[in-house]
Amino acid sequence: MERRPGVPRLLREINDRAALELLLASGPLTRGQIGELTGLSKVTASQTLARLEGRGLVEVAGEQAGGRGPNAALYGIISSSAYVAGLDVGPEFVTTAIADIHGEIVAEVKVAPNGHDDPVALVHSAVVKACRSAKVALSKLRAVVIGTPGVVDPRSGDVRFSFDLPGWHEGIHERLARDLRRDVKIENDVNLVALAERTLGAARDADDFVLLWVGRGIGLGVVLGGRLHRGRSGSAGEIGYLPVPGVPLAEDVRAVPGRLPSLAGGLQSLVSAEAVAELAETYGFSGGSAAECVAAAVKAGERGEPLLNEIAGRLALGVASVCVVLDPGLVVLAGEVSQAGGSALTSRIEEAVARMCPIRPQVVPTAVAGNPVLRGAVLAALDQAREEIFAS
């Protein structure tokens, strides 16, 4: 008879993973409930829980009153069994969140660069401060995910270029991993917002959608078949470069050592925060940020409609171009300017797109509260940490 020594171990790993995934999704359960929901026998469920308790992942979290018999023990994931860090790195602040294995945020810290040009020193300081605030040892972090503006090379994991973060370049990814002594992932910030939207927001469980970020700059997160589409070089979604009618083309978009590519021209020149603020002034809305001007236009009712129509028409150029290629069905608007416009802006974009092309996607505002880049970074770190625990 052929011996297959790996099979029992594989079955144990499968059973452990099934139980952990169930407890993370459902919360504390009895041994009987775990067996029923996973299809494990009572004996196998007991053995699985014993292994997970031995690994420091599961504990008795309470009791459930039974009928005539004794109360049944409730088993739950130990919150402190693993932690993750998510970071939103921008030109003005670095915001770091520490979350436990359940995704509960236990600390959030914002720090200013204060002249620190070295990304590694800046991230190290931010993570250490957040861990100290959470009273969590740095060694307890299972995953670190950093959201940054710019193009992230999916092959090397490095930022290829970023206008807002010129100090982030090739080699930073490796240096960060070496400094923090653990795997570090750098991800485009708008991609992380798309991840947060699919998990928590308006695109929850949508397999195909795009997220259009309109704020200081403009970017696009693309989700196809339930997965982020980054493209070969990580440049998928750099919609600011999209050529549009009536706008000069950028003269030279090549990134070369010592010089960042030009952002003059393209859709960016029509709908960036700076462009929206300038446009708002011509319609009599001025004195604040682009988002404040758009919010004032919404509040102004009929007087603000011409400005909203113009902004919607400009954004529709980009949305229509994306839709005739990808046909996503759902477009989510996020970013400060988009949030300020709300449904008054999204409904106008939907109508304008329908006039431009044969596809009419649903256009909706974001439903993710708080800092969406940070939320996405934490979610990505949780996925990574949980996968590591499941596979260990």
Same domain membership, residue 89 and residue 73: no
Same domain membership, residue 212 and residue 136: no
Same domain membership, residue 93 and residue 63: no
Same domain membership, residue 273 and residue 147: no
Same domain membership, residue 94 and residue 34: no
Last residue of a domain, one of 77, 98, 133: 77
pLDDT at 226: 94
Q: What is the CATH number of the domain that holds 59?
A: 1.10.10.10
Task: Report yes or no: 222 and 208 within 8 Å, Cβ to Cβ.
Answer: no
Q: In terms of DSSP bridges, do strands 29-30 and 58-64 run parallel, antiparallel, or are they unpaired?
A: unpaired
Counting every residue written for the chain, the total comes to 392
Task: Of 121-125, 217-221, 264-268, give the lowest mean pLDDT range.
Answer: 264-268
Place of tokens 């067996």: 35
Instruction: Indicate the average pLDDT of the chain.
Output: 90
Residue 1 domain-assigned (yes or no): no
pLDDT digits (tens, 9 = 90+) for 242-288: 998 878 776 666 555 545 455 567 899 999 999 999 999 999 998 78
Report residue 357 as tokens: 């092309």
Same domain membership, residue 257 and residue 110: no
Residue 234 domain-assigned (yes or no): yes
Q: Is the pTM of this model over 0.85?
A: yes
Residue 98 domain-assigned (yes or no): yes
Same domain membership, residue 178 and residue 129: yes
Residue 198 domain-assigned (yes or no): no
User: Who has greater pLDDT, 114 or 180?
Assistant: 180
Instruction: Give me the residues paired with residue 110 across strands.
Output: 95
What is the domain extent for residue 238? Answer: 204-365
Last residue of a domain, one of 52, 77, 102: 77
**Cα dihedral 328→330→336→340 (10° resolution):** 140
Same domain membership, residue 222 and residue 336: yes
With cut-offs at 50, 70 and 90, classify the pLDDT of residue 391.
Answer: confident
The predicted model gives 96-112 an average pLDDT of: 96
User: Who has greater pLDDT, 243 or 68?
Assistant: 243
351-378 in b/e form (b: 16+ CB < 10 A) is ebbbeeeebebebbbbebeebbbbbbbb
Structurally, the chain folds into a number of domains equal to 3
pLDDT digits (tens, 9 = 90+) for 315-359: 999 999 999 999 999 999 999 999 999 999 999 999 999 999 999
Residue 155 domain-assigned (yes or no): yes
Same domain membership, residue 289 and residue 226: yes
Instruction: Check whether 56 has a pLDDT greater than 60.
Output: yes
